[in-house]
Amino acid sequence: MLIEIDNKIISSEIFNRKFVCDLSACKGACCVEGDAGAPLKNEEVLLLTKNIEKIIPYMRPEGIKAIQSNGISCTDAENETTTSLVDGKECAFVQFDDHHVAKCAIETAYLAGSIPNLKPLSCHLYPIRIKEFNEYTALNYDEWKICAPACVCGEKLSVPVYRFLKAPLIRAFGDDFYQTLETIAIEIDNLD
């Protein structure tokens, strides 16, 4: 089922599926696995470019080398702008903590107060993927096997995707949009 809010078409899976990241289980695999970097908006590329010197201290040498060689962003097979990768593998901005959990150097720089922008919106919104079309914006749930622990954790805690992603949804579309999602969720629950 698809739900329409203004010019947004939303998959009902964001209401029905349960999801809570479990970094202790997945180790941040979404920053390491896959065939492309994180999708970036043009304004995010500009912000990263402007703030790269403040992000570099939080990056690994491999990531620094990748952006020096290939730039902050590149174009993937679907002609979308994404973060650069280290040797075609992990995101150039990935760092690892003492427990070998992947973290984002951009987010670390933001949390340290070094830069004004949070990690890319596509990362913040995951497992929701946004696709822009001429007339509308599609919000879909992206199922990826590496996120199986997040689905188990979400089921255990009974947290739907949209509720887990409250902050990034508000960041992307505003508080009114999120409040509309809450209202729709209640209507969906009443149908069951």
Band of pLDDT at residue 192, cut at 50, 70 and 90: low
Question: What token pair was written down for 108?
Answer: 């670390």
Percent of the chain with pLDDT over 70: 98
Question: What token pair was written down for 56?
Answer: 């570099």
User: Between the CA of residue 130 and those of 41, 76, 122, 165, 187, what are the distances in Å?
Assistant: 11, 16, 8, 13, 24
| 149-172 tens-digit pLDDT | 999 999 999 999 999 999 999 999
Domain boundaries, the chain: 1-19+127-192, 35-118
pLDDT attached to residue 132? 87
pLDDT attached to residue 33? 85
Band of pLDDT at residue 73, cut at 50, 70 and 90: very high
Residue 95 buriedness (CB in 10 A; 0-12 / 13-18 / 19+): buried
pLDDT attached to residue 23? 87
Task: Name the nearest CA neighbour of 112 among 61, 52, 55.
Answer: 55
Band of pLDDT at residue 144, cut at 50, 70 and 90: confident
E runs forming strands in the chain: 2-5, 8-11, 73-75, 81-83, 94-96, 102-104, 128-132, 137-141
| 15-66 tens-digit pLDDT | 999 999 998 888 888 888 877 889 999 999 999 999 999 999 999 999 999 9
The pTM score is 0.87
| 96-135 tens-digit pLDDT | 988 899 999 999 999 999 998 889 999 999 999 998 888 9
pLDDT attached to residue 1? 79
The one-letter code for the residue type at 119 is: K
**Averaged pLDDT of the chain:** 91
pLDDT attached to residue 75? 87
DSSP codes joined into one string, 94-135: EEE-TT--EEEHHHHHHHTTS-S--S-HHHHTTTEEEEE-SS
